[in-house]
Amino acid sequence: MVREAEQHATEDRRRREEIDARNELDSLAYRVEQLVSDLQDRLPVNEKARADQLVADARQAISEQAGLDRVRPLIADLEQMVHGLPASAAAAAGAGAPTGNGAGGDTESEEDVVDAEFTRE
């Protein structure tokens, strides 16, 4: 029995890895859907369409119980989308905003500014 268990250990690890990857893919697809829903009015049309297509591809891969070779690239694409959507929305919202001293600017971008003094010794 021990020998048989050892023989199947590699297969069991591979199956576990595929299940974990599909779960991660499902979670990321959900996060992207939520971001698109939250940022819908501020997203460029092409970014929204790309996000929708990636989510559809992820859902299809999950339903087909796709292997790691298909799931991993989708995970990477969705991770990029999770990080890129807020930036795309901010860029689209700020496209018509005045530049200069920040008057009338976006409060989110102003929070990133740190006012500090620098002295050399």
74 lies in some domain: yes
State which residues form the domain around 16: 2-93
In a domain, 9, yes or no: yes
User: Given this model, what pLDDT does residue 121 score?
Assistant: 60
* Count of structural domains, the chain: 1
| Residue 104 domain-assigned (yes or no) | no
Provide the mean pLDDT of the chain.
83
Whether residue 113 is contained in a domain is answered as: no
Residue 6 lies in a domain: yes
In a domain, residue 103? The reply is no
Q: What is the pLDDT of residues 58-75, one digit of tens each?
A: 999 999 999 999 999 999
In a domain, 27, yes or no: yes
CATH at residue 10: 1.20.1270
CA quadruple 72, 53, 92, 39: dihedral sign: negative
Looking at residue 28, its amino acid is: L
The SS3 assignment for 103 reads: coil
